[in-house]
Amino acid sequence: MQLWHSLLQLGLLASTAVPTVAASAWGFTDATVSVHSKGSGVGAGLKEKIPDNKGLSQPIDLGDADTLKLTLTSQEGSTAKRAHQVFLLLQDPETGLDISYPFNVKDNGKARVELAQKDLPVQFLSASEPLDARLLIGSFGSSKAYNGVAFQLSVTHDPNVPVPTVEAPKYGKLPEIHHIFKSDPQSPPVVVTLAFVGMVLATLPFLAVAWLFLGANVSHLPAAFKSSPVPHTIFLGSLFSIEGIFFQYYTSWTLFQVLPAVAVAGTVAFVSGSRALGEVQGRRLAGQR
């Protein structure tokens, strides 16, 4: 906000200062700007004359190794005179940052300043728009000070060399962070699953068919039940009920419901099992198996 205020002030002052070249106003004459590249000849490079108290229309490029040289004669009214403030003010129109370079002023008002790219603050090197180069000429007393755009300065640099930047630490809002969750595991297509379920369940009939083919039977069942009906019934029943308890555990029961039930059924199976298997052994010893 402050920047805008000061820019506004500058604009107002410039508009009032430039047209009135009255006797009591500061100004300049004989102004030339030249850009001299290191390594090139003396006559090489750009050289422009700035009209009195006005600005150049086209921007001036300042490369990596270039030096900008600006000479002028400050004058109060139309007489050459030394001013207390003869500055070249560079301002970034985007950010409002500014810096001034004082001229080397002689008694007769002749002033010169040299500016290389390395003299510029780092923030200006990365400026996207050309900088405004203003001339500030003013001194004590009642004469009106001069403040006008002399030219636009565009800072060019080697595209292969990274432009240095500065990041001053400051308190402020930080970028938001949203945690990236691991994606949930996906079930394969239900069709595939159902096909495999079908294959798994198809093994049961396969088992039955293979057994029947090999002559499996339950022919001893009547005989077994005849000789010892109670142990066989209870043994089979307890076996099936243990598996049934397991199924209950799978669907709804808790471990503490399951354990006592299995303990009871297991004891019954143990007792009845030893009897039943004794009967089976009897059959085997009788050569019936």
* Site residues (CB under 8 A) for other proteins, limited to 215-254: 215-221, 224, 232, 236, 239-240, 242-243, 246-247, 249-250
Cβ contact 109:83 at 8 Å = yes
Contact flag: residue 199 with other proteins (CB under 8 A): yes
Q: For other proteins, which residue of 85, 117, 123, 126 counts as binding (CB under 8 A)?
A: 85
Closest to 265 (Cα-Cα) out of 280, 251, 245, 284:
245
**Closer of 42 and 204 to other proteins (Cβ):** 204
- For residue 114, CA distances in Å to 92, 106, 158, 257, 276 come to 19, 15, 21, 94, 115
**Closer of 36 and 144 to other proteins (Cβ):** 144
Contact flag: residue 256 with other proteins (CB under 8 A): no
Interacting positions 8-67 with other proteins (CB under 8 A)? 9-10, 12-13, 16
**Closer of 47 and 284 to other proteins (Cβ):** 284
Shortest distance, position 160 Cβ to other proteins, whole Å: 28
Cβ contact 68:99 at 8 Å = no
**Closer of 45 and 253 to other proteins (Cβ):** 253
Q: For other proteins, which residue of 87, 127, 150, 155 counts as binding (CB under 8 A)?
A: 87
Shortest distance, position 69 Cβ to other proteins, whole Å: 16
Interacting positions 178-197 with other proteins (CB under 8 A)? 178-179, 181-182, 185-190, 192-194, 196-197
Contact flag: residue 165 with other proteins (CB under 8 A): no
**CA 240 – CA 248 distance, rounded (Å):** 12
What is the b/e burial string over 51-89, where b = at least 16 CB atoms within 10 angstroms of the residue's CB?
eebebbeeebebeeebbbbbbbbbbbeeebbbbebbbbb
What is the b/e burial string over 199-232, where b = at least 16 CB atoms within 10 angstroms of the residue's CB?
eeeeeeeeeeeeeeeeeeeeeeeeebeeebeebb
Shortest distance, position 164 Cβ to other proteins, whole Å: 14
Cβ contact 268:231 at 8 Å = no
Contact flag: residue 80 with other proteins (CB under 8 A): no
Shortest distance, position 239 Cβ to other proteins, whole Å: 7
Among 35-43, 61-69, 148-156, 269-277, the segment contacting other proteins (CB under 8 A):
269-277
Strand order of the β-sheet with 146-155 is 60-62, 146-155, 131-138, 85-91, 98-102
Interacting positions 101-140 with other proteins (CB under 8 A)? 102-105, 107, 136, 138-140
Closest to 270 (Cα-Cα) out of 231, 241, 240:
231
**CA 21 – CA 76 distance, rounded (Å):** 9
**Closer of 44 and 210 to other proteins (Cβ):** 210
**Closer of 43 and 175 to other proteins (Cβ):** 175
